Amino acid sequence: MAPALSRTLGASSVAALRPSPSRGPRRAALAPQGKTCARGLRWDARSERAVGARCVSAVAEKAPAEEEEEAAAGEKFEYQAEVSRLMDLIVHSLYSHKEVFLRELVSNASDALDKLRFLSVTDPSMLADGSEMEIRIKPDPEAGTITITDSGIGMTKDELKDCLGTIAQSGTSKFLKALKENKELGADNGLIGQFGVGFYSAFLVAEKIVVSTKSPKVDKQYVWEAEADSSSYVIKEETDPEKMLTRGTQITLFLREDDKYEFADPTRIQGLVKNYSQFVSFPIFTWQEKSRTVEVEEEESKEGEEASEGEKEKKKKTITEKYWDWELANETKPIWMRNPKEVENTEYNEFYKKTFNEFLDPLAHAHFTTEGEVEFRSVLYIPGMAPLSNEEIMNPKTKNIRLYVKRVFISDDFDGELFPRYLSFVKGVVDSNDLPLNVSREILQESRIVRIMRKRLVRKTFDMIQDIAEKDDKADYKKFWESFGKFMKLGCIEDSGNQKRLAPLLRFHSSKTETDLISLDQYVENMPESQKAIYYIATDSLQSAKTAPFLEKLVQKDIEVLYLIEPIDEVAIQNLQTYKEKKFVDISKEDLELGDEDEDKEKESKQEYTLLCDWIKQQLGDKVAKVQISKRLSSSPCVLVSGKFGWSANMERLMKAQTLGDTSSLEFMRGRRIFEINPDHPIVKDLSAACKNEPESAEAKRAVELLYEAALISSGYTPESPAELGGKIYEMMTIALGGRWGRLEEAEATASETSVEFGSSEGTVTEVVEPSEVRTESDPWRD
């Protein structure tokens, strides 16, 4: 099996080439007598009408004993292949989109021009005819053809046999090998096609191909013809003077009926050239219909009399006429091929807007060349704003990265091969010389080159974002964070390998800043020496974070607390765990250590309120895991904190809101609830007295229940029965307000009497007065 094919064709393709006993007799028709060839596939023109594809192993003569051993092992068959079937497998296994045929043929034309340019260095006579080095594409909708003409090196008759008659043979790879052997010319990195099957992609859309070519090495011009389903091709000498070329190759595709209307359309061809071959180094012209305004003379006779021809007045009028002409399709130059020092910012911005159809300037760009193990050039951009559509956010198939191989567009449909999902907003172009031209997603996923490229692209992106963050003008990074902050937090969750680069880019609200966001570096710089952790609280809004009871003692001690107010924040921080050897601590969870506790006072409070804690636990039962004295409260009577393990109140709220969430896991993952009381608060002191003096008081028990329900809400939890909580509040309000201001019973009685009097009064009968009847004199209904 040919190495080039075995790497590319899938298992189903290779299966078609396996030996079959039924195909044994065909060997005589396919392989020449008395000859053997190297292991491989060869398309050989023994006549101008017949072609044989053969794969024969060179086997030395063996001793009779060895032959007997082989006979005992089983009968051997030689590989056979039908050329038409093999062509079909090659074409349809390598290419998933029909439109790539134009990219392949234009790349071949570009290679032909490159070869001519290199050879003309030592042999200037190659360019003696003086024709321009260019590519022209002319679609003909009426005839259903596409003609691609280049003024390149052309081919001789023998080269036609080698390049177009041998499957998977690359003329470019041979040329590169010759260049490397000749040190005077040196090796070239600009040649594109190095696989050898690009030409055959034309059979995706063509039922017949005619190649007319003229090499400057010979005086004759030859024509190569082949049909898609045929196992033969024809080579003949061109004799028609009207079809003679000065130099180069002309390929005419006779399109299939199904593809004729799409690919014979000039507008469609223009779009494909701009998409795939916009940055080819030679000019590409396409045949396009244009319009222009011209002035023509209009003849008018004088009014009232017949005038002779000489007396006719001549007036001019403007009309629009259509005509066909050549139009340059690749005006935009590949900016990444230039030296970054020579490119102005305005040029980068214009390239960005034109390539990605944007209207805002990018926030930043990075232009770099990577050399060494893998060589590629790239220009990356940070967009000026986030995507307008929610569907484009976190979408791995954003088509933001355009991959080129030697300035030829390959694809923009990647699923995380070049950039991780959280950097899907980055836009840019990547041009590599090390990838094959017929690259597919499967090849990208398995390519070591792509993995190396991905690491370097991600690193350059982080450097670009860091440069924005370090600018003196903080407005740009504020704009970046508003648009793409969620992406950075997602990266902390999905990319543990780059957390050290991501963490300094994060920004949060804090208890010491009203409007500005702070970084983790700023937080650590502001920390007192005694503080050993980074404190945070996760809530649903900035206002609820500012008024949370968990903050009271920390604010009193001037300890800064980060506010995590977006749903993704808490998960991102939990994945970071530490920053600069400082642990992240959730102040809404148990065992909060602030570092300056008075142990003697704590011991006294515990002894004094042990009975109250046990009594409250008895009243609340399984609703709480335990009741204890709080270290975090200063003004609130109580708070409900979650255990070390399991969800916080904020996470529990988010998980309940999941559309496809698993309700069975809520009870399992929900953290245990701990009821903390503030011994210095009057309500707690009153309950302590009730516990000691009247532990069975119904009012005291109702107060404990209401205190627990209020702590649920203030701590971020959702009460199980909001209506029941409302009833308890109304009951307590009735007790608290009853008789405080007195009731105006007499006024109520008077109002009641007035109401009864009004309702029972007979009143007078209201007379309805009808308006007088008025009729006009013109009334048709008048008597």
Contact in structure between 150 and 143 (CB atoms under 8 Å): no
**CB half-sphere exposure, 89, CA atoms < 13 A:** 20
**What pLDDT score was predicted for residue 73?**
45
Which amino acid is present at 256? R
- 382-400: per-residue pLDDT in tens? 999 887 765 555 565 678 8
What is the tens place of the pLDDT at every residue in 434-455? 776 555 555 665 677 888 888 9
Q: pLDDT tens for residues 274-312? A: 888 888 889 999 999 888 888 777 755 545 555 555 555
The predicted structure's pLDDT at residue 160: 85
What values do phi and psi take at 402, rounded to 5? -105, 120
Order of all β-strands in the sheet with 376-382:
364-370, 376-382, 427-432, 401-405, 408-411
Residue 391: how many other CB atoms lie within 10 Å? 9
Please list the residues that pair with 365 across neighbouring strands: 381
User: Strands 135-140 and 284-300, how do they pair?
Assistant: parallel
Contact yes or no for 152/249 (Cβ under 8 A) = yes
Q: What is the pLDDT of residues 130-157, one digit of tens each?
A: 778 999 999 999 999 999 999 999 998 8
Tokens coding 3: 């190495």
Share of the chain above pLDDT 90, in %: 33
More confident residue, 618 or 37: 618
* CA 605 to centroid of chain Cα atoms: 58
Give mean pLDDT, residues 719-730.
Answer: 86
Crossing angle for the helix pair 475-494 and 448-469, nearest 10 degrees?
140
pLDDT at 309: 52
Cα 404 versus chain centre, distance: 17
Specify whether the CB–CB gap between 19 and 79 falls below 8 A: yes
Q: 560 exposed, middle or buried (CB, 10 Å; 0-12, 13-18, 19+)?
A: buried
459 has pLDDT over 90: yes
Q: Which amino acid belongs to residue 601?
A: K
Position of tokens 């949060």?
Answer: 508
Residue 37 main-chain phi, psi, to 5 deg? -130, 165
Question: How far is the C-alpha of 758 from the C-alpha of 749, rounded, in Å?
Answer: 14
For position 120, what pLDDT does the model report? 86
Q: What is the secondary structure of 239-258 as a DSSP string?
A: --GGG--SSEEEEEEEE-HH
pLDDT for res 469: 93
pLDDT at 31: 39
Band the pLDDT of 6: cuts 50, 70, 90.
Answer: very low
Q: For residues 269 and 141, what is the distance between their CA atoms, to the nearest angstrom?
A: 11
Report whether 273 contacts 284 (CB < 8 A): yes
pLDDT in tens, 105-130: 998 899 899 888 888 888 888 887 77
